[in-house]
Structure 1
Amino acid sequence: TICLESCMLKFVTLLIMRRVIKWADLRKLIPPSQNGFCKDYRTNNNAFILRCAIEKAKVMGKTLYVATVDITNAFPSTDRATLWLKLKMLGMSGKLFD
């Protein structure tokens, strides 16, 4: 039963994730800078954009400043109550909130 529960939880989580992504896409809530996590985009796109910016700066004789920040440990956990409240304030509704 543990395996079945785990499989069912993954399945339900996948369904919820797809619905939330569709909901957010319809409302244009995901900024273009988050394209590495969107359908039909890859993290390679951002590497290509950076490469183009570097080449353009070289051609124009400009200095390009780039910073990379590792924020892996900046947000160790999510306060779920706050997350659900924020989603509700953005207009998400349905059985998940009832």
Structure 2
Amino acid sequence: MLKEVPGIDNDIYSTVDACLNACEIWKAIERLKQGESINVQDLETNLFWEFGKFTSLDGESLESYYSMFYKLMNELTRNQCKVTNHQVNVQFLL
């Protein structure tokens, strides 16, 4: 639903989309509205959301796909987000 609203970027969408109930959504929106920097939990949620949704685009070259995947994996590693080798292999092949 939020993807259809113009001006909602991926950070906001993935933070709110990961909330389990209205109370969590309200708290997340309040944090974002008050200008707080994204906290560690929100950052991890965003990265895992991006990892789970990662796929190639029609007509995208293998080099481009690998480069984007490599950048995402570096971001996960830099933020100490753990993914198994199996998860990485399966996600890369999707």
Normalised to the residue count of structure 2, the TM-score between the two structures is 0.29
Normalised to the residue count of structure 1, the TM-score between the two structures is 0.28
Larger radius of gyration: 1
Point out the structure with the larger helix share.
2
